[in-house]
Amino acid sequence: MDQTDTKVINAKSRNAKLFPFYKMFAWDLLFYYSIQFLFYTQNKGLHASEVLFAEAFYPIFKLLFQIPCVNIVEILSKRRSIIVGNILVTLGIIELIVGQGIASVILFNILIAIGYSIKNICESPLLNDCVSYKENSRTVFSNLDGKGSSFWYYFDAITGSCCGFLYVFNNYLPIYLCLASSVISLILSLKFVPYEDESKRTVLLNETSSFKAYFKDIKISFKNIFQSSRLKSLLIFSAGFSGLLMVRTTMASSLFTEIGIKEEYFGIIFAILTGISGIASKNQNFFHKRLKNKLLSYFSLTFCISMIVVGLSAIITHGSMFGIIIILLSYALQYMIKGPYYTLQKRYLNSFSSSTMVPKIYSATTLIESIFSSIVYFIASFLLTITDTSYALVILGCIFTIIFIFILDYMRPRLGLKPEEYKKSDINFTEVH
């Protein structure tokens, strides 16, 4: 092993060790979700339906910027792109603090959509690159990514437990702390060490330097991705499930407001729920080994049925203590599913993929998820203009139960097979030909 190889391995090893701590701050917004609904309705003057309408711009702009963001990552490198993504998220939070009305919420969602689009394309591939030289690299990736996820869930639980009280003390204080967390994410991203071979990357960029050549490359890459029955099944499932996960927190906050839960308890409730996600995320291998090929079936159908249970409990019990307990237990089940899902989803997407192809697969996933999530946001927003949150949850739960029955039936002969049982087109795809 020459000196250059040793230097690259040392850089990768350092990045892999730093990644879980980086993800603890950078994976998603902290000090935010437990009070976002209250902050928008009480400080920005939005109604419940307007909150979901404004948040629909997040998946829309993730969709619009997916292909340009892949180009940005290839030009800048994964490490530099992560830094740019964190800068955009930080600017978005600053805009939310100083802006007013629904326009400020829309602009905030646009900025963080672009930032997270860039980050989502290259964060997991960076970790995948940095453990690729290790034995059982897929397991190492899952363990480190799951560790980072659990760190975020635990930290979010701790910060969330006091978020409601901080909000009552000063409505803007949680958002200031959210900004501080984003700044820490930016600082930690600067600590990642360069490891990519710049000369090889320069050659690749020279070969696809024009936008025409670049979009031709992307078109062929996406065509090959969508020709894989295995990946197509994962993408369809991810599209449906992401829509439910994205509207979950906002609709939960709206429901808590309807059934009379006090503002200061929002943070404690979401902290406990997030802690459950953290524990489940840390034990993602348990779910993978225990449920095996039926994992996605159990996750999706259980999640949908729990939505129906939440809505019916609120309708029937009218906010009684017994009803609130059933509602919270159902949300605990949803958060238990959410915890390991993201890590396991990335594990499945990474399978049989090269380091240069993984960002394009993630980009295709985000494209499909963004389209479907924006549709779900608009449907949920419409439902809240004509009915209460509890009825909207029942309607959405019933619709998605039916949708996932058909999706899972489509997936059954195409996913979860042994490597030798797949067609070559399902696991062998190239970027250009």
Mean pLDDT by 10 residues, the chain (433 residues): 69 90 92 88 89 88 79 82 95 94 92 91 85 78 84 83 86 94 95 76 52 59 70 83 83 87 82 83 78 82 94 88 92 88 74 62 76 86 90 93 90 63 52 44
pLDDT the model gives residue 314: 92
100 Cβ contact list (under 8 Å, min separation 6): 44
Dist. CA 29–CA 275, nearest whole Å: 15
Question: Which residue, chain included where needed, has tokens 């909207």?
Answer: 392
Q: Please check whether residue 114 is in contact with residue 21, taking contact to mean a CB–CB distance below 8 angstroms.
A: no
Task: Say how far residue 338 (Cα) sits from the centre of its chain.
Answer: 10
Based on C-alpha coordinates, what's the Rg of the chain? Answer: 21
Q: Which residue type does 165 have?
A: F
Q: What is the structure's pLDDT at 311? A: 93
b vs e for 280-296, b when ≥16 Cβ sit within 10 Å of the residue's Cβ? bbbbbbebbeeeeeebb
- Show the tokens assigned to 399: 């619709």
Q: Report the Cα–Cα distance between both ends of the chain, in Å, rounded.
A: 33
Determine contact, residues 21/151, Cβ cutoff 8 Å. yes
pLDDT digits (tens, 9 = 90+) for 30-76: 998 888 888 998 999 898 889 889 988 888 888 788 777 777 887 88
CB atoms within 10 A of CB 420: 5
The set of long-range contacts for 295-302, using a CB threshold of 8 Å and a minimum separation of 24, is 295/344, 296/237, 296/408, 296/411, 296/415, 297/408, 299/241, 299/337, 299/341, 300/237, 300/240, 300/241, 300/400, 300/404, 300/407, 300/408, 301/401, 301/404, 301/405, 301/408, 302/333, 302/337
The pLDDT of residue 202 is: 56
Do residues 129 and 12 make contact, with C-beta atoms less than 8 angstroms apart?
Answer: yes
Hey, what are 51's tokens? 């909150």
- Taking the C-alpha atoms of residue 7 and residue 73, their distance in angstroms, rounded to an integer, is 23
Please provide the DSSP assignment of 366-415 as one string: HHHHHHHHHHHHHHHHHHHHHS-HHHHHHHHHHHHHHHHHHHHHHHTTTS
Question: How far is Cα 343 from Cα 27, in angstroms, rounded to an integer?
Answer: 12
Distance CA(224)–CA(32), nearest Å, equals: 39
pLDDT computed for residue 122 by the predictor: 86
- Cα angle: 176, vertex 181, 182; to 5 degrees: 95
Percent of the chain with pLDDT over 70: 85
Q: What are phi and psi of 98, to 5 degrees?
A: -90, -20
pLDDT at 416: 59
**Are the C-beta atoms of 25 and 79 separated by less than 8 Å?**
no
Distance, CA of 259 to CA of 388 (rounded, Å):
11
Residues 220, 118, 23, 189, CA torsion sign:
positive
Digit-coded pLDDT (tens) for 300-346? 899 999 999 999 999 998 778 898 999 999 999 998 888 788 777 77
Answer for the pair 365, 238: CB distance below 8 angstroms, yes or no. yes
- Output the pLDDT for position 199: 60
CA distances for 98 relative to 32, 184, 239, 353, angstroms = 16, 20, 33, 43
Q: Does residue 83 contact residue 189 with C-beta atoms inside 8 Å?
A: yes
Q: Tell me, what's the pLDDT at 121?
A: 82
Amino acid letter, 91: L
Measuring CA to CA, which residue among 95, 72, 116, 87 is closest to residue 185?
87
